[in-house]
Every structure is written in structure tokens, then in C-alpha cells.
């Protein structure tokens, strides 16, 4: 089921991100029919937002030529990634994609905090609209000297055939260590950690402003969780579900 599958590659780091470039090339090498459409500017933390920036409600789309992407159609969209995935599902960039690859994100997306991630939001939007989604993130830390985008892209490529064999609506979240090892990290299926790679804390509050800081709770991550296994050097894979109803006791 991998031959010439229409595939949207997007992200939340913006059209200029090298992670986006690497993921698009990996998808093309896997035989996908690729279109790239990503935010014109960074949209990190946008979750599944479908807010538009134009006052008249229109969505501005600029055709781009990106060195190295060859004939792959590429668009800079003035919208968050979930909205890009949504309009793609309605044919905004040609044939609606059956697969959405979102990333490679600069930084891990683990734990329940992924609800805030624009990278994950785009993949979940694909699932809601009858496609399949893969969010891909590279655990670069706060001050990386090198970012190994190609490692994350190669692992994403390895997952594509598996994902396409799953039912429509399947969404996977892949996190990859920023490793310099000769061999690719091993995959590990993992549940979400309770928090994630970063946890927010309120550090200042007065009459006019509130200030947040982030703390790294990796050392406190539950054994076997995605955060814990990623810290141990594994590439973690978690199946995540779009929003749906949950059981409720009778009212």
C-alpha cells in the first residue's frame, strides 16, 4: 500500500525548517507522492488550532521553490499546521492526502503535554479527516551542538509502510533521540508520560502579567513511558487517538 500514496508533509517550525526538508525527501524516497505545505512562520505550540490570520477569513498561500526538493510542490501557508492539514483534506493542494507527516520537530513531543503541540495537532487532524498521521520529533535538548535530522527522517521512512497498513484514522507519535551512533536507534512502543519533556510552572504573577517557566522532569518520568525510554536512547512510538467521547456514569 506504499506506492504513490498522496502525502502531505507539514510542521510547526515553519517552511524554512531543515527538519521539514529532511522529512519530505525521506517520504519521496519511500515512493510517496509528496506535497509540502507548512506555516510561513513558526507555529510551535499551536495544538490543533484552525485560526486564520487574515481579517477577511481567507488563508494566504505562497508557492515556494526550495533548493533540494526538486519537483515537489511546496507552499508557505499563513496558517497553523492543523489548519493546513484540514484544508489539504479538502483538496487545497491537489488530491487530498491519505498520509500526513508532521515534523521533523525541533524538540521532543512526549507525555500528555503533546496536546499543546502543533506538530501533533496536524497529525491528529489527518486522523479526524480519514487519513493517517505521523508526528515526528527530534529530542535535541535546549542547546544542541548538532541536530541529526536525517536520523529522525530515516526512522520515519521505516515506519511509513507499517502505518499505511493500519486502519484509516491511525495516528502515531514518533520521538527520536539526537544520537550520533552509527546504527539507528531501536523502536519501542511506549505509553505517554504523565507530563512530558517539559512541564510549565508559574514563576511570577502580578496585577498585569503572569510569567511561566519550563522545568525538565525527565528524571521523574514513569519507567517504561515515552519520556523515560527516549531518555534511554530509544525511538519511541505511541499510538494516539483524535478527540472522541469517553465513558461516563449515568447521569
pLDDT, average across residues 102-129 = 96
12 vs 201 pLDDT, higher one: 12
145 vs 13 pLDDT, higher one: 13
Structure-block grid coordinates of residue 198: 517539559
Q: 57 pLDDT band (50/70/90 cuts)?
A: confident
246 vs 204 pLDDT, higher one: 246
Q: How far apart are CA 92 and CA 98, in angstroms?
A: 14
Least confident of 68-72, 84-88, 223-227: 68-72
pLDDT, average across residues 93-101 = 98
pLDDT, position 53: 72
Q: How far apart are CA 123 and CA 178, in angstroms?
A: 22
Burial class (CB in 10 A: 0-12, 13-18, 19+), 223: exposed
pLDDT, average across residues 7-13 = 97
Asked if residue 33 has pLDDT above 70, the reply is: yes
pLDDT, average across residues 100-117 = 95
Average pLDDT, the chain: 90
pLDDT, position 3: 61
Cα end-to-end span (Å), the chain:
45
pLDDT tens digits, one per residue of 187-233: 999 999 997 655 455 566 777 777 766 655 555 689 999 999 999 99
Q: Where are the domains of the chain?
A: 6-193+222-240
* Cα–Cα nearest to 64, from 133, 26, 28, 17: 17
Cis peptide before 104 (omega within 30 of 0): yes
Select from 3.40.50.300, 1.10.10.10, 3.40.30.10, 3.40.1210.10 the CATH code of 6-193+222-240.
Answer: 3.40.1210.10
pLDDT, position 196: 64
pLDDT tens digits, one per residue of 163-182: 999 999 999 999 999 988 77
pLDDT, position 193: 94
Tell me the whole-structure pTM to 2 decimals: 0.92
Contact 202, 154 (CB under 8 A): no
Q: How far apart are CA 109 and CA 112, in angstroms?
A: 9
Coil, strand, or helix at residue 199? strand
Q: How far apart are CA 118 and CA 81, in angstroms?
A: 6
Phi, psi of 142 (to 5 degrees): -90, -30
Phi, psi of 237 (to 5 degrees): -125, 125
Structure-block grid coordinates of residue 50: 484552525
In the block, which residue shows the cell 465513558? Answer: 247
Number of helices and strands (H, E) in the chain? 5, 11
Amino acid at each position: 500500500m506504499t506506492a504513490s500514496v498522496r502525502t502531505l508533509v507539514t510542521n510547526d517550525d515553519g517552511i524554512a525548517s531543515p527538519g521539514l526538508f529532511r522529512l519530505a525527501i525521506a517520504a519521496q524516497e519511500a515512493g510517496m507522492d509528496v506535497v509540502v505545505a507548512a506555516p510561513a512562520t513558526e507555529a510551535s505550540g499551536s495544538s490543533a488550532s484552525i485560526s486564520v490570520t487574515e481579517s477577511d477569513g481567507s488563508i494566504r498561500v505562497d508557492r515556494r521553490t526550495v533548493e533540494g526538493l526538486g519537483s515537489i510542490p511546496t507552499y508557505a501557508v499563513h496558517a497553523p499546521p492543523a489548519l493546513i492539514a484540514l484544508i489539504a483534506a479538502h483538496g487545497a493542494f491537489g488530491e487530498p492526502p491519505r498520509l500526513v507527516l508532521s515534523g521533523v520537530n525541533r524538540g521532543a513531543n512526549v507525555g500528555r503535554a503533546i496536546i499543546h503541540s502543533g506538530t501533533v495537532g496536524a497529525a491528529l487532524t489527518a486522523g479526524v479527516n480519514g487519513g493517517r498521521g505521523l508526528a515526528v520529533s527530534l529530542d535535541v535538548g535546549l542547546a544542541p551542538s548538532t541536530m541529526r535530522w536525517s536520523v529522525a527522517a530515516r526512522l520515519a521512512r521505516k515506519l511509513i509502510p507499517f502505518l499505511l497498513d493500519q486502519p484509516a484514522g491511525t495516528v502515531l507519535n514518533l520521538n527520536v533521540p539526537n544520537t550520533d551512533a552509527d546504527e539507528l536507534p531501536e523502536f519501542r512502543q511506549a505509553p505517554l508520560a504523565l507530563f512530558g519533556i517539559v512541564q510549565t510552572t508559574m514563576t511570577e504573577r502580578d496585577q498585569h502579567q503572569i510569567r511561566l517557566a519550563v522545568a525538565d522532569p525527565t528524571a521523574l518520568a514513569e519507567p517504561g513511558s515515552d519520556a523515560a525510554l527516549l531518555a534511554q536512547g530509544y525511538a519511541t512510538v505511541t499510538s494516539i487517538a483524535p478527540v472522541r467521547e469517553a465513558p461516563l456514569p449515568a447521569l
